[in-house]
Amino acid sequence: MNAPAPTLLREDDDSLVVDRPGDFRVDGSIYTSPRIFQQEMDRIFGKTWVFVAHDSEIANPGDFKTAYIGLRPVIVSRDKDGRVHVVLNRCRHRAAAVCRDLSGNTTHFTCKYHGWSYRSDGSLMAMAMHRGGYPDDIDKSGLGLLPAARVDSYRGLIFASMAAEGPTLREHLGPALPYIDRLFDCSPTGRIAVKRGAHRTVYRGNWKFQAENSTDGYHGNFVHQSFWKLMSQFGNEGGQHGNYVELDMAKIFQRREQGRTVGFRGGHGLLQYPAPEAGIASLRNGPHADYARAMEAAYAPARLDEIMPQHNLWIFPNLGILLDQIRVVQPLAPDLTEVDLYFYDLDGASAAYNQARFDGYERFFGPASFGSPDDVEMFAINQTGLAAGEVKWLELGRGLGRQRPDGDGDLAGHPSDETPQRAFHRQWTAMMSEQQ
Amino acid sequence: MMTTEFCATQDSVRTMSRHEAEAWLFREARLIDEYRLHDWLALFADDGLYWAPIDDRQAPGTTVALIHDTSLRRRERVYRLLETQAHAQDPLSRTQHVVGNVEVEPAGDGEVRVFSSQIVYEIRAGLADYRQLGLGEQRSFAARCEHRLRWQDGQWKIALKKMLLLNRDIAIENLTFIL
């Protein structure tokens, strides 16, 4: 087959995303079309760097967890020598998934169907009842669990790419790298640990809605009015959300006017709100003075000023780091998405400080909490409205008139602007339009 | 050995018959289903915990749970349901609890443990357009339930309400109603 693959998203229309001065729109079908969804699984998830695990989830030799790259089931494992492997969870014999656990520790994976077994680095250990059925000298080296083409990590975040060629992980993360640093430098040692399990939720909407929303500073005043009212009534004793110390709705909304959004090259995005007025000093006289002291010992004052604001970071296509959690968006179907939230502890911070962070997380996040369920409700009503297909476009042009250059090709806007969402859709368009 | 309907006489410890435990659970279920949430709150001891764990081998509050409500968070939860416009509960969930398999065990310190199986049916409908995504679908949640009840001020108070959902460790939608 030498026929050229189509280069456009859709044969009859190459403008699913309109991006021109003063005008940014996306076609509703990118959230509904099964064909576009399948193309996303191939052209985006089948190529770019996709987050699969944090180091601390597979800390010891033999540890593993299962994950998905798009719809591909994979095993992320640490071999006996401590090396990390990402391999497809598919027996080379007749395709059965060889691992059925969420996580665990093992020396090998044995296929339930016909007993082929693989070491934790994915290599084929044995074919059951080998003699007579297969040549004695069969070359097993080509029959291991198929590895992802590339595996790399940054500050404990393990990514895999199914494409042998393409930008390195550091090139992909590019302008987002300093913000990963800021987030994890909230630990005095610069290390985080995922060790309290995960909230797993599912919603009836397209996966891109959660990707867009994680850096959306426009929705909060409306979607989370229930939470702000609750916070005004009960204060922060039950767990502080973000840097909000104000208990008055008007002052909460004032804080939400401060800060910025950034849309990065590569499709990443940032929503940033200011640090508490006194920065780290605000913690010095409170119950977490020990954390403040540890941070002041670890970092220079200018660095603390960079670390202390709230950073909601989105890494294209499906990883969020925000509000004390790693957030993984898992597309399941055009209108069905899983979101897994992994709270993380800060290494080197006191148990009391980590517990206070956990209290704040619990109050706002998870399927029965007071915050995130109101977000995913929006994604279901988005998906409901999309059935009215005569309205072709979703408007993502907020703030086009006031965004300004930030860095080398990045753009910054007001915290309520759709700057990060535009960056996401620019990268989405670039990858979906690539020559196959 | 006495089993479900034990009747301790030592230390003048107050006990509960299975019949009493059933009546108590039925009433709690009715308070929730009738949305009498302030009355439901009053069933709890001040230090009581309302807990729907994901991993119940871990102590409450150490790992992520579906629900981990101390007194303050329970009051916040009821306030959110009754006094705020929470989109995940607009429209509100209707619930119908079915309670069975009730057993009572002494727990020491003036407490009893009441075990039950509960099925919670839930739907968001009413005036809402039930045809929209996420609405109009009747869901059922099966739970192994443990109440630890304490005799206090002339009535049984909840020291612990633990709802161990069958589907606790898979991806789960909207659980913002009272289980």
* Distances B81 to B13, B122, B134 between C-alpha atoms, Å: 37, 15, 18
Instruction: Give per-residue pLDDT as tens, A363-401.
Output: 999 999 999 999 999 999 999 999 999 999 999 999 999
pLDDT computed for residue A243 by the predictor: 87
For residue A369, the distance in angstroms to the closest alpha carbon of chain B comes to 7
Do A329 and A318 form a contact (C-beta atoms < 8 A)? yes
Cβ-defined contact of B85 to A226 (cutoff 8 Å): yes
Number of alpha carbons in the 13 Å side-chain half-sphere of residue A145:
31
Say whether the peptide bond before residue A167 is cis (omega within 30 degrees of 0): no
Q: Is the pLDDT of residue B45 over 90?
A: yes
**Chain B residues close to A223, C-beta within 8 Å:** 87
Query: Residue A12's pLDDT is what?
Result: 46
Residue environment code for B147-168, b if the CB has 16+ CB neighbours within 10 A, otherwise e: bbbbeeeeebbbbbbbbbbeeb
Percent of chain B with pLDDT over 90: 87
* Residue A233 with chain B: CB contacts under 8 Å: 76, 79, 83
Q: Return the DSSP state at A309.
A: S
Torsion angle in degrees (nearest 10) through CA of B104, B108, B111, B113: -30
Residues in B closer than 8 angstroms to A377, CB to CB, are 87-88, 134, 174
**Per-residue pLDDT averaged across B103-124, rounded?**
95
**Per-residue pLDDT, B13:** 63
Average pLDDT over residues B63-73: 98
Mutate to test the interface with B, among A31, A57, A200, A344 (most CBs of B within 10 A): A200
Chain B residues within 8 angstroms (CB to CB) of chain A: 52, 54-55, 61-68, 72-73, 75-77, 79-80, 83-88, 132-134, 169-176
Alpha helix (H) residue ranges in B17-108: 18-33, 37-41, 71-83
Q: Among A275-279, B72-76, B98-102, B130-134, which stretch is predicted with the lowest mean pLDDT?
A: A275-279
Q: Residue A420: is the preceding peptide bond cis (ω within 30°)?
A: no
Q: Is the pTM of this model over 0.90?
A: yes
Number of H helices, E strands in chain A: 12, 24
Q: Which residue numbers in chain A have pLDDT < 70?
A: 1-14
Answer whether A200 sits within 8 Å of B73, measured CB to CB.
no
Predicted local distance difference test score (pLDDT) of residue A5: 42
State whether A362 and B79 contact (CB < 8 Å): no
Nearest CA of chain A to the CA of B115: how many Å?
A: 23
Q: Please, what are the domains in chain A?
A: 53-154 (2.102.10.10), 174-433 (3.90.380.10)
pLDDT at A14: 60
User: Which residues of A fall within a CB distance of 8 Å from B134?
Assistant: 203-204, 377, 380-381
Q: How far is CA A357 from CA A324, A351, A363, B63, in A?
A: 7, 10, 10, 13
Write out chain A residues lying below 8 Å of B86, CB-based.
Answer: 226, 370, 373-374
CA angle B104, B115, B17 (to 5 degrees): 25
* pLDDT value of residue B126: 85
CATH (one of 3.10.450.50, 3.40.47.10, 1.20.1530.20, 3.40.50.300) for B18-165: 3.10.450.50
Per-residue pLDDT band for B6 (boundaries 50, 70, 90) equals very low
Q: Closest Cα to residue A54, out of A207, A211, A195, A199?
A: A195
Q: Give the closest residue to A120 by CA, choosing from A176, A61, A170, A173.
A: A61
Whether the per-residue pLDDT at B108 is higher than 60: the answer is yes
